[in-house]
Amino acid sequence: MKIKKIMVVLGMLASIGMVLAACGGNSDGDQAAEGNKQITVSSKNFTENVILAHMMAELIEAKTDIKVTRTVNLGGSNVVWNALKNNEVQLFPDYTGTIVANYYQEETGTSEESLSKTRELLKADNLAFLEPFGMNNTYTLAVTKETADQYNLKTFSDLAKVSDEMTLGVEFEFLDRDDGYPGIQKLYDMNFKDSKGMDHGIMYQAIEKGETDVTNAYATDAQIIVHNLVILEDDKQFFPPYDGGPVIRQDTLDQYPELENVLNLLKGQITDAEMQELNAQVDMEGLKEDDVARDFLVKKGLIEG
C-alpha cells in the first residue's frame, strides 16, 4: 500500500515538472525556434562552383545560428537555377555572364554593366546577386611562357600580329561559335596558320607537347597552373565577363537579413590566380572541396581555424 502511494506521489511530481517545463521553459522554446532557421546552399557540377558553395556555407555556419544544408554538385547551370527559382535551394554561386546571357538571353557588357544588368534582371524574379567574389571565370586565350616571352605577348592584340605564324588548338565548338574563334577573327583580325578542334583535356597536352601554340581556356582553370601557361589580356573585351558571386532568393534575405553582410565578407577576396590554385588543390592534388574552402577562409582571416 505504501509503495502504491509513493508511486502516485512520484507520478504527480513528474507531471508537475513537465507542466512547468512547458510553461516556463523559454530556453527550450528558443532552441526549437532556432532549429527552424535553415538554408540550403547548392552548387553546379564542377570543382570551382563546389568550392565556392562550401565557402558560403562555412561562413554562414561560423557567423550565424542558421543551420546549413549543403546540396553541392547538383547539376548543370539550368538544374541549379530551376532549383533556386522553385525554392528547393536558396543560395548558390553563379556568374554574371551566365545569368544575363544564358538564363535571360540578354546582351552582356563590361563587368560593371553586366553586374548591373544581372541585378536588374534578378530583381524581377525576386532574386538577388550580392557582392562579387573577385574572380572572373571568363573565356581567354593562353600560350606557354616560352611563347609569351619569345613574341612578347601580353594581349590578344599582340597575338593577332603574329597569329599567322602559330597553330590554334581549341575545343571543337569554339571553332564555330560566334562568341569563339570566328568572333575573335573579326574583332582582332586574328588569323592562325592552322586551327584544330579537340577535347578539353587534349588541348593542354597538345600545347605542352608543342603541337599547338595557342589554346582557349577558362581564366580560373587549374590546368593553367599545371601547364605553366600565360593568360593573355582580352584588351578589346570580346569575351563577356563571368564575375562570380552569391545568388540568393530575396525572401530568404528578408527572412535572414544578416546573410547579406556575412556573404559580402567574400567581396573581392578571390583573384583569378587564387581560384586557379584552389581548383588545382582539388583536381590535381586530390584534396576535398570543403577542406580547401575552409582552409582558404582561415587563411584570409574570415573564420577561425
CATH no. for residue 144? Answer: 3.40.190.120
pLDDT, tens digit, 9 for 90 and up, residues 201-214: 799 999 999 999 99
Q: How many domains does the chain have?
A: 2
- 163 and 126 within one domain: no
Instruction: Show the domain range for 276.
Output: 38-136+243-300
pLDDT, tens digit, 9 for 90 and up, residues 186-196: 999 999 999 99
Q: 289-299 vs 47-63: helix axis angle to the nearest 10?
A: 60
- 103 and 82 within one domain: yes
Dist CA 210 CA 56 (whole Å) = 40
pLDDT, tens digit, 9 for 90 and up, residues 107-145: 999 999 999 999 999 999 999 999 999 999 998 999 999
Residue 1 reports pLDDT greater than 50: no
Percentage with pLDDT > 90 across the chain: 79
Q: Choose between 30 and 262: higher pLDDT.
A: 262
Report pTM: 0.80
- 196 and 179 within one domain: yes
- 221 and 280 within one domain: no
CATH, residue 46: 3.40.190.10
**Three-state DSSP state, 75:** strand
Where is 270: in which H helix or E strand? none
pLDDT, tens digit, 9 for 90 and up, residues 155-193: 999 999 999 999 999 988 888 877 789 999 999 999 999
- 111 and 162 within one domain: no
Please list, in sequence order, all residues whose beta carbon lies within 8 angstroms of the beta carbon of residue 7, skipping any fewer than 6 positions away: none
Dist CA 83 CA 96 (whole Å) = 18
Confidence of residue 278 (pLDDT cuts 50, 70, 90): very high
- 204 and 128 within one domain: no
Residue 198 reports pLDDT greater than 50: yes
Residues 96 and 245 sit within 8 Å (Cβ to Cβ): yes
Dist CA 199 CA 128 (whole Å) = 35
Residue 234 reports pLDDT greater than 70: yes
